[in-house]
Chain A
Amino acid sequence: MPSPADTSPALHALIVEDDAQLSALLVLQLGGLGYAVTAAGDGRTAIAMLAETRYDVILLDRMLPAMDGVDVLRRIRAEGIETPVILLTALGLTPERVEGLDAGADDYIVKPFEIDELNARIRAVLRRRATPAADNATLTAGDVTVSVLRHRVTRAGKPIELQKTELKLLAELVREAGSVLSRKMLIERVWGYDFVPATNIVDVHILKLRQRLEMPGLPDPIVTVRGVGYMFRG
């Protein structure tokens, strides 16, 4: 599993969470993944800390005492702090999600979540900040090329026939090649669902995609990351 420690100096994360136990668990788990983590118990403390220190990412609880998470977010954005923010929430309700994103959140994660899921989302957010998405361009990773607009896929120069959903899934994996995409992230981005389906529809499609991309002598370009999701080899 890729961890920040592999690449460079530790990423500095600020956790704003009033549930002390959950906060402690997150500090422990993210620390285990190589992050440098600081915790704040409420919004005011967090705003004060942000004035002093620069963080790489903020994990902000949606429901905080005294000052709501979305209010905190609006305040820090109003003060010109552009640090990526991921909202943590107990409810995955669409209006809340929209409100959070409108207030300037980069992503949204519904409690409870696997630490790997959070890690994948932090990575995705940081990557998106570093390289703005090129939605309509031709995407390439390794020997695979995807042209979303023309609905064309090739591997090692040979055309591959894909169904619409398969192509959307491949495009998402190729665009973020080298990073882990969780099943939930794929469900949101490829299928556009704001709920978790009861069936293993991501795995079924990955399996099909692997079959379609299979070529003698070439390795499987999709890596399964146990307990999290999938990654396209960069």
Chain B
Amino acid sequence: MARRQIRSLGRIAIGFALGVSAATALAGAGTYLALLDSIDRQVDLRLQGEARELLEGNATVPEIARRIARESSERESADIGFLLLDPRGRPLAGNIAPAVPLPIGLSTVREDAGITGLSRGRAWVRRLPGGETLAMVAESEPIDQHDRGRVRILVLGFGALVALLLLGTVALVRAIRINIAAIAGTAEAIIDGDLRARVPVDRPSSVFGGLALTFNRMLDRIGELMAGMRSISNDIAHDLRTPLARLHGRLAALANAPEAAPVREELAAAVAESEEILAIFAAILRISEIEGGDRRAGFERLDLAALAADVGEGLQLLVTESGRAFVPRLPDTPVPVEGDPRLLTQLLVNLIENAVTHTPRSTKIRLDVRRAEGMAVLEVADNGRGIPAEEREHALRRFGRLDASRHTRGHGLGLPLALAIARLHHGTLTLEDARPGLCVRIRLPLAD
């Protein structure tokens, strides 16, 4: 069975505060009880000592009564209550009148015993040989009204302790949160594609500093592995390209030779196939190059609206001649972003070409650039068949081309390439429902 783990910092804090409070309360109660117990024992010893004095030398009952009267008036033992009863229970001497009979031996007396001025005490009772009963009672409270005072002390002391504890816990939780947030922030940056993000380390010797260092070392290692993988796929693409290029060259040369006339069509198809494969390699290498992030070095400030206008102008005829409508909606005011104009051009061309190849004729293709929520937003939308919600994520993956019913050209790397370009620009690419149709939305940080 999996152990339940408490993951909420708030709960950990509350649990901690409760635990410490309970421990403090227990310790307080224990001390209190031990104090009372030791006082009781002192009082018991005193009572026994007093009894020895009263009964000294096999004193007779009248003698005991006389001694009681004397002791009651003496300053030293004036706080002790005496009572001497005859065998039938009638008082012979003494200064107390308990409402209930006191048991033989040592016992604790409470307020309900009805002894004036006593809220807590000890009683010593003995049956004398003649059937009389001798009882003595003494207070065992350290101070008068001790318990009531004790409550106030407890409330104040305990309250202060809990308040301090809460403050300390809040500070501790805050410190932990800040450190966790630093690590989480770095993880978010990595997810966003900034593979160079690392957790800031103030004090390497501290626990969190050590954790941050370990985390950063893990990121370094992941970075190395990813670079290794990228270079492997790059190497494969590279190494396969050269022989493929040769094959392509030979086929093309053969297709042009006079003696190839009878099979020219087949050869042309083979040349086209090899071109397709080479285009895939080109796209893979391009995506790797973009994901490497080195292209950021060439970023410049540019106007996304003007760039979209240029691309729209260059592709307008392509869209309209294919029997589709082209509806650019571009703002007159600049929409500045930091970026690589060639890559952003490729992204936009990809999206518009995608819309042309994946929609039926007479589809309307909309190109939209605007500012929204502090971001530059670029949209290419169509009113074609769209992509079902559950397939959209798949469409963004490399080679994630949708099923054959979306009759296709191209290699299925158009959207992944666009996504890589958007991420390079610290932006996002999402596929939305244009009701009907597909809307590809790019959001890039504004460079205002």
Contacts and interface: CB of A to CB of B under 8 A. Distances in A.
Given A163-B317, A208-B321, A112 B249 contact: yes
A111 B353 CA distance: 24
B357 A198 contact: yes
Contacts of B4: none
A207 interface: yes
Contact of A164 (B313, B345, B350): B313
A234 to B, nearest CB: 24
B282 interface: yes
Contact of A227 (B238, B256, B342, B410): B256
A191 B356 contact: no
Interface in A164-185: 164-166
B297 to A, nearest CB: 8
Contacts, number: 98
Contacts of A114: 249, 252
A157 interface: no
B253 A201 contact: no
A82 to B, nearest CB: 29
B252 A201 contact: no
Interface string A107-137: 0001110110000000000000000000000
B314 A112 contact: no
Given A194-B342, A199-B357, A22 B246 contact: yes
B317 A25 contact: no
A208 B317 contact: yes
Contacts of A111: 241-242, 245
A25 B242 contact: no
A90 interface: yes
Interface stretch (A5-13, A92-100, A141-149, A215-223): A92-100
29 contacts: A19-B242, A19-B246, A22-B245, A25-B250, A29-B253, A90-B238, A92-B282, A93-B285, A93-B289, A111-B245, A112-B241, A112-B244, A112-B248, A115-B249, A165-B314, A165-B317, A191-B314, A192-B345, A196-B279, A197-B353, A198-B353, A198-B414, A199-B357, A201-B318, A204-B317, A204-B322, A205-B317, A207-B321, A227-B252
Q: Which 9 residue pairs spanning A and B have beta carbons closest together? A: A112-B245, A112-B248, A201-B318, A111-B245, A198-B410, A199-B353, A191-B314, A198-B353, A204-B321
